[in-house]
């Protein structure tokens, strides 16, 4: 049977409208893929080669500060410690030396002596411990630390080549009021590399780590985060990944990326007995709430290390 005239047009319009609704629903729900991350919590050792030679010690009556980056000596470019050694041993003992440095965001020229340079502890590498925050199951990219890697006046070290390693045999110096503790561990395997050191930590690519059987968590929006109970994911002394209870005390509804999004408090007695609160090396530990990843530890509060701050997870991506 064929439809003709207005009857046909009306029927056709109805079918077209239904088809449109089905297509719209299928597009928006059937093909809408949620964003997921794998929260990790592994204690990692970070080793990095820097783009410049950096001052690591403070010397009395010296014009140099910890974190100063050497650019040149007497107009000769310094790119690594070997360059520095070659120039240094050809300097006149009695003449002034002109040194170009970067201090913070500023380029400066300093006049000093060979003896002053000799007292400096200089290198172009950095090493330390932090926590692996997440791995993106789609790209194998990772994020860690939750704040920039810096030394002294250099708050964000320029990385030439960086590597992360898994660890075991963790030892912990507990935090006490007015004194943030730290952790140490034995380096095992290289699992990733990076060059990106930014306001919210380091980002790079996982090279050798099997994550196929690890649980993926949805990424929370900032509006979904709420005050109250949450969990911190962290490697324990037995090298097992464990969840610990914390409390979200305060939420800053940031309109643009900033580091201190949440104020948190560790409430888990097991973790408090192990660490005394937040210790150096826990930066980057992922935080879970309502089965979603919401952020990572970024700072401890020195006079009360049971409390600290966390950064919103999307700022780390």
Token pair for 244? 């610990």
C-alpha–C-alpha distance, residues 261 and 296, integer Å: 10
Instruction: Enumerate residues 6+ apart whose C-beta is below 8 A from 45.
Output: 127, 128, 129, 164, 165, 167, 185, 187
Please, which residues bridge with residue 251 across strands? Answer: 262
C-alpha–C-alpha distance, residues 80 and 84, integer Å: 7
DSSP 3-state assignment of 8?
A: helix
Task: Assess whether 259 carries a catalytic annotation.
Answer: no
- Burial label, 7 (beta-carbon count in 10 A; 0-12, 13-18, 19+): exposed
- Burial label, 18 (beta-carbon count in 10 A; 0-12, 13-18, 19+): exposed
Catalytic residue among 62, 136, 268, 299: 268
C-alpha–C-alpha distance, residues 11 and 165, integer Å: 66
Residue 285: Cβ within 10 Å count = 29
Q: By the 8 A CB rule, do 217 and 233 touch?
A: no
C-alpha–C-alpha distance, residues 274 and 300, integer Å: 16
Task: Assess whether 299 carries a catalytic annotation.
Answer: no
Catalytic residue among 62, 175, 259, 283: 283
Q: By the 8 A CB rule, do 164 and 190 touch?
A: yes
Task: Assess whether 115 carries a catalytic annotation.
Answer: no
Rg (CA), the chain: 26
Pairing of strands 159-173, 106-112: unpaired
Catalytic residue among 62, 68, 136, 147: 147
Q: By the 8 A CB rule, do 81 and 124 touch?
A: yes
- The residues annotated as belonging to the active site are 147, 268, 283
């Amino acid at each position: 049977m064929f439809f003709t005239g207005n009857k046909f047009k009306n029927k056709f319009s109805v079918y077209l409208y239904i088809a449109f609704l089905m297509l719209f629903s299928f597009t928006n729900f059937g093909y809408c893929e949620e964003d997921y991350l794998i929260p990790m919590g592994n204690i990692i050792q970070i080793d990095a080669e820097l783009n410049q030679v950096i001052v690591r010690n403070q010397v009395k009556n010296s014009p140099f500060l910890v974190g100063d980056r050497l650019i040149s000596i007497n107009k000769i470019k310094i790119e690594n410690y070997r360059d520095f050694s070659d120039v240094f041993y050809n300097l006149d003992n009695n003449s002034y030396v002109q040194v170009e440095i970067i201090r913070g965001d500023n380029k400066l020229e300093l006049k000093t002596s060979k003896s002053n340079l000799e007292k400096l502890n200089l290198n172009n590498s950095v090493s330390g411990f932090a926590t692996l925050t997440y791995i993106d199951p789609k790209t194998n990219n990772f994020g860690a630390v939750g704040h920039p890697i810096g030394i002294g006046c250099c708050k964000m070290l320029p990385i030439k080549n960086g590597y992360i390693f898994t660890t075991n045999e963790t030892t912990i110096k507990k935090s006490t009021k007015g004194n943030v503790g730290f952790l140490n561990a034995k380096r095992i395997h290289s699992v990733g590399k990076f060059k990106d050191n930014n306001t919210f930590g380091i980002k790079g690519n996982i090279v050798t780590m099997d994550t196929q059987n690890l649980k993926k968590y949805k990424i929370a929006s900032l509006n979904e985060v709420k005050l109250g109970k949450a969990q911190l994911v962290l490697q324990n002394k037995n090298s097992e990944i464990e969840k610990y209870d914390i409390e979200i005390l305060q939420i800053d509804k940031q309109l643009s990326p900033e580091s201190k999004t949440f104020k948190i408090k560790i409430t888990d007695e097991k973790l408090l007995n192990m660490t005394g609160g937040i210790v150096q090396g826990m930066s980057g530990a992922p935080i879970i709430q309502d089965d979603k990843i919401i952020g990572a530890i970024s700072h401890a509060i020195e006079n009360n290390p049971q409390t600290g701050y966390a950064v919103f997870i999307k700022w780390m991506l």
